Amino acid sequence: MLMVGLTGGIGAGKSTVTAVLADAGAVIVDADRIAREVVEPGSPGLAMLVAEFGEDILGPDGALDRAALAAKAFVDAERTAALNAITHPLIGERTAELFGSAPADSVVVHDMPLLVEGGMASGYHLVIVVDTPAEMRLRRLVEQRGMPEEDARARMARQATDEARRAVADVLIDNSGDRQTTIDLTNALIELRLNPFEHNLRTGTPVVGDRTVVPFRPEWAGEAERACARLRHVVGEIATRIDHVGPTAVDGLDAPDVIDLQVTVRDAPAVEAALAKLTGAGYVRDRSSEQPLLHWCDPARPLEVSVVAEDDPEHEFALLMAEVIGADPGARAEYSEILGRANREETRRFERTLCEASRRGR
């Protein structure tokens, strides 16, 4: 099962993307719909809200009057906390129920407007952000939804910034053009990434990256940061640190398009504990490697994840390498040539020799 988080600012046009995903067979878990469902008339959630905030939060038909609830629940932090204490567990339970009922071979898409605000990005295998310029979103809210401009601006201001959403995006769908373009982009994403990713996870098929050197990509740093956050989500406090290492960690260096990450733990038993958690989360162990090494299953983002104990020399070498090569133009040029020959053993010897020399010189 592939877990995908989908988000975007209000008015971005997520509904177009979710419709295409649903038509392709994805299971859509709509956070807004769940939030309404758990407080429907006759539900335990609505009864708890009435007990906390009073009968006057109900409309004439017995349904929740959201404006009346807001007037009481958002007067101060204490009342807001009381609201959240009722609704959040109910929403969480229902969400987990829907996730759990999805078929094992599903692409499950969690349509979550407040994904960024809730710090939830690292809990998904992939995050899709539907991106539309703020002024276009404002125009849609006013012209298509009939929202007063002042209210629309206020709602937009309460959400995460465009920059914050882009920072967590593994996939950015530009929805500023015509609808058909967005549909085509989404269909291509399904065919080329989502479906293969789900298959790889389900079957334990790793994506082993091509070690051909490509021009430096500024995006590597952000991709590594998101991958590190996902690793932290999986291994938790077992890891004492998680770092972006290897050639793509050297700023400005042409390198193979494979992101190397290092999970550092305290000792050998912790190495085994981390490996168990990572393989349980879908990372695939590379049995041909002498060191604990895992690959990921995303066809568009090859990762190599090493797990080392703090007293393992490999730990220090990996951390030193990017620093040393980044600071030495001669070493950078030689390293670039070696990477171009795509000889892993030669590359490792050079890295080790350089780092040992640097360590002796300190």
**Residues at the annotated binding site for ATP?**
11-16
Q: What angle do CA 352, 225, 206 make, to 5 degrees?
A: 70
- Backbone phi, then psi, for 141, in 5-degree steps? -65, -40
Binding site listing: 11-16
**CA 207, CA 190: separation in Å to the nearest integer?**
17
**Of 294, 91, 107, 74, nearest to 193 (Cα)?**
107
Tell me the Ramachandran region of residue 252: left when phi exceeds 0, alpha when psi lies from -120 to 50, beta otherwise: left
Q: Exposure pattern of 33-67 as b/e (b: 16+ CB <10 Å)?
A: ebbeebbeeeeebbebbbebbeeebbeeeeebeee
- Report the half-sphere exposure of 347 (CA within 13 A, side-chain side): 18
For residue 204, what is the enclosing H or E element? none
Alpha-carbon distance values, 147 to 142, 150, 152, 162, 231 (Å)? 5, 8, 6, 21, 41
- Please give the single-letter amino acid code of residue 3: M
Residue 124 tokens read as 């998904």
- Distance, CA of 2 to CA of 26 (rounded, Å): 10
Neighbours of 141 (CB within 10 A): 20
Chain centre distance of CA 271: 24
Token pair for 352: 């080790």
Beta bridge partners of 7: 129
Copy the structure tokens of residue 21: 């995903």
Please give the Cα distance from 34 to 103 (Å, whole number): 19
